[in-house]
Structure 1
Amino acid sequence: MLEKKLHSLSLNQIQIEDMFWKEYMELVRNHVIPYQWEALNDRIKEAEPSYCIQNFRVAAKLEEGSFQGMVFQDSDVYKWLEAVAYSLMWHPDEKLEQTADETIDLIAAAQQPDGYLDTYYIINGLEKRFTNLMDHHELYCLGHMVEAAVAYYKATGKRKFLDVAIAYADCAAEHLGTEEGKIPGYPGHEVAEMALVALYEVTGEERHLNLAKYFIDQRGQEPLFFNEECKKNDNKCFWDDTYMQKQYYQAGKPVREQEKAEGHAVRAVYLYSGMAEVASATEDAELFKVCEKIWDNIVKKQMYVTGAIGATEHGEAFSFDYDLPNDTVYAETCAAIGLIFFARRMFEITKDSKYTDIMERALFNGVISGMSLDGKNFFYVNPLEVNPEACEKDYFKRHVKPVRQKWFGCACCPPNVARLLSSIGGYAFECSEDAIYMNLFVGGQIEAALNGKKNRFHVETQYPWEGTVKIKVENQEDSSFTYAVRIPGWCQNYELTINGVKPEYYVEKGYAILNHVWKNGDEILLKMDMPVTLVEANPRVREDIGKVAVMRGPVVYCLEEIDNQDQLQEIYLEENPVFTETFEKDLLKGVVTLKTQGKRLSEKNWGEETLYRPYRGRTYEKQELTFIPYYAWTNRGIGEMTVWVRI
């Protein structure tokens, strides 16, 4: 059975209190959400303008003007509203809610009588709508609108935004389909598929699920719709002259015939997330097997050690198996977030920790690296090796930035980070009727109804810097249910006790299953050994031969120039390095640093005019090396950085 075995707790049932994620959530609430609101209104000096709110005002005929920005600019405000909704769930804020309501009023004012709502076409001519589904992102904007509207309805109980989204979804269904008189199209940039299933879960209306299923089933069918659309409307597909062609959009063949991740990475994982949702909701075993096969291809052959995906700047795309360059990498922040979406949905169907392990890896490394520690600067691209001079002067590395940017003309990543971090509690804990699953080790207060009884838990942890997690039951009456604790894939040794005694339990798909009659004051204690680990890549990853990455727990580490001088390519680890682990509370908002004795290839006896010479063997100079968490790099100034180190 493919029905979801688990569902997220409402964010108002989770009060996060731990030092790591609470810091991020408050940063988003107090700084990122307000900062992004200013950006959406073009009030950030020296940042690229957004034009987002301005476009809605023009579309609503509240001011004169033309459409400006990217064709998908509407989606930025939707993702901002989704982040606001999640924030309101765990921290009510009347002023913020009022701003959101006013923004929703503006959006509604721009909506057309038949429900259509895309400012690009409202401003530039409605007669052209649905004529370039391949590239003009109408359905992408619909998807983000639906996700935001569902979240806002759950947060506030207000229907206005939800009704706006339903009207646009119904408008799309009126125009798109295989019935006579309709356009047999589907999204060029996926996200509507998973959004429509979320809408179906709220409304119970089969038409919303059916539209999501149609978008998936129709994708890639012959004759290829995007080819026909190009012919009919004289559109040009840039990707036809590349090896990807329509697989750039994951539309070169039906989804059930696809076996590996291909094309634009964000579109891909958004599609796969929607496929998993539809497979579950419709009990489509064939479609779910495709999801499993593609998942395996991503994590076993196309994923960076940081959980980042999308190796090439050309199309922001997957390239080919084992192609994982570190200095020309793309690794878009949104792609890592999309992988988390995919992982979560696969986990909810299977209860298998192989998905939550990857969710954790991407979260701690590939996602939060995309935002500065003050929440005011952002990465679109997340490299694993940087030489600032190369970023400036090498044309093929021009997309790689050695420092986070204030904003982007294409600003999909910043609000995506905000909405994920605002909802992190829903990823950490999920439940069924009789079980609660701890997916991420996050401290705080959690409430859950299990077997018809209310339960309350208090979690304490210093994760990811320490491997101890304490869960205390705070119930008014005895309660029988299952508490399932993830044993991370990185953890080789652990101890699990209840009230100081080793309990009877079994491990199933990476979770320690604790079936118990729980009493007030019962305490689960998980102690995980967290040694420093050297990670090597499959030898087919050419760029990483003879190198290792350093990890501790879920955190990937890196070398930065500020700690280790420049020319990081000259540095080697010892064969069996011994690390000193130190928590430095005043460094990078509090991190564990790793120090070890390494060596540097000596430049002595190399004249400045000598580029090549007969090989004389190698000589080294000893050097103490300092590693910091990868996610925190370039928060202390511009310099070289590398994750993979020679050994």
Structure 2
Amino acid sequence: MELSSVNNNQKVTVEDAFWSNYKQLVAEQVIPYQWKALNDQLPDTAPSHAIENFRIVAGEAKGDYYGTVFQDSDVAKWLETVAYSLRSFPDSELEESADEVISLMGRAQAEDGYLNTYYMLVEPDNRWTNLRDNHELYCAGHLIEAAVAYYETTSKREFLDIMENYVELIRSTFGSEDGKLQGYPGHPEIELALLRLFDATGKHEHLELAAYFIEQRGQEPHYFDMEKERRQSLGAPATWNDQNTNFGLGYAYMQAHLPVRQQQEATGHSVRAMYLYAAMAYLARQTNDAELQTVCDTLWDDVTKRKMYITGGLGSAVNGEAFTDAYDLPNDSMYCETCASVGLVFWAKQMLLLSPDRKYADVLERAIYNGTISGMDLDGKRFFYVNPLEVNTYQAGRKDQEHVKQERQKWFACACCPPNLARMIASIEDYAYTQTEDTLYTHLYIAGSVETRLDELSIKLTQKHQYPWDASISVMVEGNGQFKLAFRIPGWCEGAAASVNGETLASDELVNGYLVLDRMWENGDQIELTLPLPVVRVYSNPKIGMNQGQVALQRGPVVYCLEEVDNGKSLAGLRLPRESEITAVFEENLLNGVVILEADGFTASESEGLYQSHAPMLEPIKLRAIPYYAWCNRKAGEMRIWTHET
């Protein structure tokens, strides 16, 4: 299926068995399903009330506000997903529905530009009194991002105009000037949005406001302390967090423990961290700020070398949905929120735009094939908020694991993850390529084509392959002239081979992990890349105590897991011998078509007592592993990624 979109002067067409299926799923199932959720039309599901809140504000319905303080953001992310989907799947009926929601927002907007249904209905006299907890600027950010995406897809200005009016109010309210509030959001998001708005409009005031919010964060005297005093003087209602405990994390919870240029390690709420770091990298690129770029790299190394799960999951603790200490990566009580992995994808893209380097694209790829899409059933109608690496039914009643679900849920009272994942999938092509004046970088192998211009030359690349199950990649070049094409050789790949028009190239001479081909190209030139896909046994750093003596399996970018439905109960008793050969088999009719892994192994026999003086008997078993992202699509039960090796 050919799916086309135009973004940043690149026209990208997706004709990829893997991602075309996901994009079509979002268009045909996820968007309609989430629309029903937002309109309280899903049976046996907690109501959202998000659309109804706007109707009440607009005077077109009666009732009270319902939902979290950031309920508006769910509508925003749905609209953003619609915008991306329309690029590939034009749908006049869907576009009309989106236009109606946008018109409703316009009717709900206050005369001065303000637009937040919680405050307009619940605390109309207390605007901007609790930036720490109540997500006003966060919601504004998601609405801005949606408006930019919708404008770029449809060229319709109504939504963009609504949000630029809102931004004017925000600019007149916040800043370092006398008479303005010198605050910033407890949950970063508007920073990214303003930078996108700057890109879309070219208006430097949006860039300046984004820079203000980023640079003001964590400065002393601390704004949130002053805000609390102001809130008390105004008689505003007390909040759940009035003592500023932040789950015991202090200001790190909202990424305000230090000014951004002083931050050296990832701490606090993992999603907030990802959104902030992505904005910092974005700003560093827009302003050519080498110091800020260095800070981003320092934080990148801390996250990816000390605090990231093998799936691209982030956040080791349910308390504060947060990072913990380096190498503290529990598999069963972790958080690994879907939004955190999606945020990691956003950050990786910005780092690649700053500096094309394989280390960023490898993490990007790890996240999109594992820790993000694991957050949704293959039918697009059930979702994980947290993504465990191990589920043990014998631990299901533990207090510290009550956040871990053994099955995906229809919806959530706090429903940030489903629409966040949807907008990422709908725009997956936006992560495949970046370019400089004379070089086109291919970061992701997604079959289809890209059309762009390099040094005033029009070029087109067309990829053909069956990635990630097979990595024999054919690339046809259309374009005449001298330019550079750079192809990522993944860090997991050994023995890559490349040729142009049948002439073998030296594929071990890489620049930051990329095979750079600089030559005089002609229409019809053919590039062949072969990336071997052996099954790799992955071992964790010895400092990760809970993984010692265990092994994980990975093939290409795909991480594998063992499920009860294939291997029986008590997965903790499974053993994979070091000498066992692991075979990879493609099963077309399983889980939408996947490569499974099989190996001879053992399972420990059951015993009646808790402890015994001899090792358990080991019984032979054929071990069967499936891609982690597809677990819990057949039957609920145990699952684990890390398996004991003997």
DSSP 3-state at the match of 1:315? helix
**Structure 1 counterpart of 2:600, which letter?**
Q
Please state whether the residue corresponding to 2:504 is helix, strand or coil.
Answer: coil
The letter for the 1-side match of 2:550 is K
Shift of 1:583: 0.2
Q: Which residue number corresponds to residue 612 of structure 1?
A: 611
The match for 1:344 among 341, 345, 349 is 349
The amino acid across from 2:453 in the alignment is A
Shift of 1:316: 0.7
Aligned residue for 1:385? 390
Q: Could you tell me which residue of structure 2 aligns to residue 212 of structure 1? A: 210
Write the deviation string for residues 486-524 of structure 1: whole angstroms up to 9, x where unpaired.
Answer: 100000111101111114674111110011222222111
Query: What SS is found at the alignment partner of 1:189?
Result: coil
Residues 1:248 and 2:253 aligned together: yes
Aligned-partner SS, 1:97: helix
Name 2:569's counterpart in structure 1: 566
| Partner of residue 184, structure 1 | 182
Aligned AA (2:348): A
**How far did residue 456 of structure 1 move?**
2.3
Please list, as runs of the form range in 1=range in 2, the aligned pairs for 1:320-399 lying within 5 A after superposition.
320-388=325-393, 390-391=395-396, 393-399=397-403
Cα pair 1:306 1:365 within 8 Å, conserved: yes
1:123-522 mapped onto 2 (5 Å cutoff): 123-234=121-232, 235=238, 236-237=241-242, 240=245, 242-388=247-393, 390-391=395-396, 393-475=397-479, 478-503=480-505, 506-522=509-525
Residue 60 (structure 2) aligns with: 62
Between 589-598 and 440-449, the greater mean CA deviation after superposition: 440-449
Q: How far is 1:446 from its partner?
A: 2.1
Change (3 A) 1:92 1:617: closer
Amino acid aligned to 2:603: R
Q: 2:580 and 2:348 mapped to 1: Cα distance? A: 34
Does 1:73 find its partner at 2:77? no
CA distance in 2, matches of 1:554, 1:121: 44
Give 1:161 deviation, angstroms. 0.7
Cα pair 2:552 2:560 within 8 Å, conserved:
yes
Change in Cα spacing, 1:11 to 1:110, as seen in structure 2 (3 Å) is farther
How far did residue 426 of structure 1 move?
Answer: 1.0
Partner of 1:4: none
TM-score (norm 2): 0.96
**How far apart are 1:388 and its partner, in Å?**
3.5
Deviations 1:423-478 (A, max 9, x none): 11110122233222111111113212222232222211101001111111244xx2
TM-score, structure 1 length as denominator? 0.95
Note the alpha carbon deviations across 1:252-281, whole angstroms, 9 max, x for none: 221112111111110111001111111222
Q: CA deviation at 1:241?
A: 6.7
Structure 1 residue 412: Cα displacement: 0.7
Aligned-partner SS, 1:402: coil
Q: Any conservation in 1 of the 2:285–2:353 contact (CA below 8 Å)?
A: no
Q: Is the 8 A contact 1:9 1:430 kept in 2?
A: no
* Offset at residue 87 of structure 1 (A): 1.1
Task: Please list the CA deviations of residues 236-257 of structure 1 after superposition, one character each: whole Å capped at 9, or x if unmatched.
Answer: 4465275411111111221112
Q: Does 1:590 align with 2:589?
A: no
Amino acid in the other structure paired with 2:557? P
Distance 1:642 1:168, change over 3 A: same
**Of 184-193 and 427-436, the range deviating more from structure 2:** 427-436
Tell whether the 8 Å contact from 2:602 to 2:618 is kept in structure 1 after alignment: yes
Deviations 1:13-32 (A, max 9, x none): 12211110000000001111
For the structure 1 residues 30 and 342, does the alpha-carbon distance in structure 2 shift closer, same or farther, using more than 3 Å as the test?
same
SS in 2 for 1:305: coil
Which AA in structure 1 matches 2:522? Answer: K
Deviation, 1:534, is 0.7
CA distance in 1, matches of 2:132, 2:580: 52
The 5 A counterparts of 1:20-59 are 20-59=18-57
SS class of match (2:523): coil
Q: Tell me the distance in 2 between the aligned counterparts of 1:577 and 1:257.
A: 49
Give the 3-state SS of the residue equivalent to 2:551 in structure 1.
strand
String of CA shifts for 1:300-351, please: whole Å, max 9, x gaps: 1100000000111101111111110001111000000101111110111111
- Quick one: which amino acid aligns to residue 86 of structure 2? L
Q: CA deviation at 1:389?
A: 5.0
One-letter amino acid of the counterpart of residue 481, structure 2: S
Shift of 1:96: 1.2
Structure 2 CA distance for aligned equivalents of residues 617 and 412 of structure 1:
46
Residue of structure 2 equivalent to 1:546 = 549
Distance in 1 between residues matched to 2:111 and 2:412, nearest whole Å: 33
Distance (whole Å) between structure 2 residues aligned to residue 559 and residue 11 of structure 1: 43
User: What CA distance in whole angstroms lies between the structure 1 residues aligned with 2:393 and 2:193?
Assistant: 39
Report if aligned partners of 1:224, 1:252 keep a CA contact under 8 Å in 2.
no
2:176 and 2:435 map into 1 onto residues whose CA distance is 39
Q: Which of residues 524, 530, 534 is equivalent to 1:531?
A: 534
SS at match of 1:342: helix
CA contact (8 A) 1:504 1:514 kept: no
Match of 1:549, SS? Answer: strand
Given that 2:493 and 2:533 are in contact with CA atoms closer than 8 Å, whether structure 1 keeps it comes out as yes
Structure 1 unaligned residues grouped into runs of 5+: 1-7
> Helix, strand or coil: the match of 2:342?
helix
Query: How far has the Cα of 1:232 moved from its partner?
Result: 2.2
Distance 1:47-1:461 versus aligned 2 partners, 3 A rule: same
Which amino acid in structure 1 is aligned with residue 301 of structure 2?
D
Displacement of 1:283 in angstroms is 2.4
CA contact (8 A) 1:547 1:645 kept: yes
Paired residues of 2:601 and 2:621 also in contact (CA < 8 A) = yes
Deviation string for 1:520-574 (max 9, x for gaps)?
A: 2211110011100011111111111111111000000000000000000001110
The 1:11–1:310 alpha-carbon spacing in structure 2 relative to 1, beyond 3 Å, is farther
**1:392-433: CA deviation from partner (whole Å, max 9, x where unpaired):** x22211100011111111111111111101111110122233
Structure 1 counterpart of 2:231, one-letter code? N
User: Contact 1:266/1:335 (CA < 8 Å) preserved in 2?
Assistant: yes
Aligned AA for 2:407? V
Tell me the alpha carbon deviations over residues 158-203 of structure 1, each in whole angstroms, 9 at most, x when there is no partner: 1111111111111111111232221111011101111111111122
- After TM superposition, the structure 1 stretch with the greater mean CA deviation from structure 2, 164-173 or 370-379, is 164-173
**Identical aligned residues as a percent:** 48
RCO higher in structure (CA 8 A, sep ≥6): 1
